[in-house]
Chain A
């Protein structure tokens, strides 16, 4: 990564990309400290009142904890499903492995709105709409394919030789997985976990179909808020979310090395 100095062209391109990606944050940050009653840029007055307002907004707080619990559960389940599935598809290669892999990752190609509509129709009949279980299942449909994708890349980049060497030394397949495969995949697993968590935490379109008066997630609540009111409250929430996302990424990076996971595929 840091062995070669980047060329000037690359530096300029990367800077432009950063500016493009960070532009929304640059707008939202001053907006969140607005003292106005309505969203306007630039703000006429400054204050932290909208931050204070968040904490008296019970529905938002409640939705935040629903999103948090949901993302954590979805992440854990996605990993538990995708890890063995990846191992089976990439290493054991049963007949039709490629076709199965394409099938399992197909939801990645569907627009979430289409997916949401399909799930809505199915779940309506099963009475899952507006329930936590329904939300969980819907999010799994989106997150598990991501997990499968990233883990498969991470495993495919592990030389099979290393696992085979363990086998020649007398290790049974389960031991090989525990002592060699899994430790070597750990950066990939961490990256997958972070990705699933953020995808679920951020998911809006699908959640709009699944939520109701009884249960709602943070993005959905924010959406509804913007629909009915034009105050800078959501800007304040957004800034907190950006901070929270950053925290997740930094934590994973510090403990396991995201750069390693994404750049070297585990």
Chain B
């Protein structure tokens, strides 16, 4: 594609959003959203209900007009281009199948709009049906399908036109676990093969982390962080991202430069601050040893230490979950059950330790 170079030259992604905003009255459903997505990349929009994921997708597809901002694909400004010229395949949260057409008719619609030959349309419809494992149901009407089957028809209808951009609004929310895993792999596979630049909206953080190249975490209409799953997990940009992605302990404390006072104990984080803060550490990053003895200092950098007492212990198969009372609060700790060590019992004195590098610190409104 000749245009790809022009987009690269401008330092923009294949799909580029700049200051995209949607206001309803005084309320900003999407607020100043800027991001770049590379050609063929699969990016998840992850965030709680009502954070503006669907609204963003609809603006990108041209279904609602942005209050402000710019949308460009491959260097071409699409902000005022009508939906039917945008070449974006979309799976709606509500599926939005054509109720008066058969499944095959639904799939053929986009191809007919592209004025393909009858035989070619039939071939591609058959292919698409096979892709979503619905070969036998081409003649059914959408109302005669289960929710999961309808969702797969919606997915096939968006894929069959081989769009340059795929917008998927929770396309797997109605499938059972097994089918969902299959469809994730399918989507990833098709998406890679077609090099379709894809936005995948989901509530499900595991889905976002495991199948997408990068994840955009949204909250209240704003982009909190755009990064690889590892970035979000290991280097969260905000307290919201840290708590939304994965499990984490939150410890309210007061920072005094390099140290953070917590009752009588002093902890450290990777950076310094002053005033009320929240320290965060993931349960499985905390090492726990029995007794009050300090564990040997590991080679992987300085560590924080707290002594405490086991309050609760729960067996969860591959993990043992503990709640440990330390410095006057309850901390979650997870240990792998791989070593066959006998679990620690409630009431036992323990020492907790974790790397300073694994300690996130965020300012807290006092």
Contact = CB atoms under 8 A, between A and B. Distances in A.
Interface of A: 159, 161-162, 164-173, 175, 179-180, 183-184
Nearest to B63: A164
> 10 smallest A-B Cβ distances: which pairs?
A169-B110, A170-B113, A161-B96, A165-B96, A167-B83, A168-B90, A162-B96, A183-B100, A164-B63, A167-B84
Nearest to A162: B96
Which of B88, B98, B99, B100: most chain A CB closer than 10 A?
Answer: B98
Interface in B63-90: 63, 82-90
Contacts of B63: 164, 167-168
B161 interface: yes
Contact of A162 (B83, B86, B97): B97
Given A179-B109, A180-B98, A184-B99, 11 more contacts: A159-B96, A165-B92, A167-B63, A168-B86, A169-B110, A170-B87, A171-B84, A173-B84, A180-B100, A183-B100, A184-B100
B361 interface: no
A172 B98 contact: no
A175 B90 contact: no
18 contacts: A159-B94, A159-B96, A164-B63, A164-B92, A165-B97, A166-B109, A167-B62, A167-B63, A168-B61, A168-B86, A168-B88, A169-B109, A169-B161, A170-B84, A171-B109, A171-B113, A172-B84, A183-B100
B114 interface: yes
A162 B98 contact: yes
Contacts of B250: none
Given A170-B84, A170-B114, A171-B109, A165 B90 contact: yes
Contacts of A166: 98, 109
Contacts of A169: 89, 109-110, 113, 157, 161
Contacts of A173: 84
Contacts of A167: 62-63, 82-84
A171 to B, nearest CB: 5
A162 B197 CA distance: 23
B307 to A, nearest CB: 58
B174 to A, nearest CB: 16
Interface of B: 61-63, 82-90, 92, 94, 96-100, 109-110, 113-114, 157-158, 161
A168 B90 CA distance: 7
A170 B99 contact: no
A171 B86 CA distance: 11
Nearest to B89: A168
Contacts of B89: 168-169
A170 B111 CA distance: 9
B113 A164 contact: no
Contacts of B158: 168
B65 to A, nearest CB: 12
A217 B87 CA distance: 56
Contacts of A164: 61, 63, 83, 92, 96
Nearest to A158: B99
Contacts of B97: 162, 165
B169 to A, nearest CB: 10
Contacts of A184: 99-100
Nearest to B160: A169
Contacts of A161: 92, 94, 96
B78 to A, nearest CB: 13
Contacts of B85: 170
Contacts of A171: 84, 109, 113
Nearest to B114: A170
Nearest to B94: A161
A175 B96 contact: no
A179 B106 CA distance: 11
A168 B94 contact: no
A165 B57 CA distance: 13
Nearest to B90: A168
Contacts of A162: 96-99
B98 A165 contact: yes
A32 B114 CA distance: 63
Nearest to B92: A161
Contacts of B82: 167
B81 to A, nearest CB: 12
A184 B99 CA distance: 8
Nearest to A172: B84
Contacts of B161: 169-170
B105 to A, nearest CB: 10
Contacts of A170: 84-85, 87, 110, 113-114, 161
A183 B98 CA distance: 10
Contacts of B96: 159, 161-162, 164-165
Which of A167, A168, A183: most chain B CB closer than 10 A?
Answer: A168
A175 B84 CA distance: 11
A165 B83 CA distance: 10
A115 B110 CA distance: 49
Given A159-B94, A162-B96, A170-B84, A175 B113 contact: yes
A184 B100 CA distance: 7
A170 to B, nearest CB: 4
A105 B135 CA distance: 49
A161 B85 CA distance: 18
A162 B86 CA distance: 17
Nearest to A164: B63
A207 to B, nearest CB: 39
A171 B115 CA distance: 11
Which of A161, A165, A172, A173: most chain B CB closer than 10 A?
Answer: A165
Contacts of A168: 61, 63, 83-84, 86, 88-90, 158
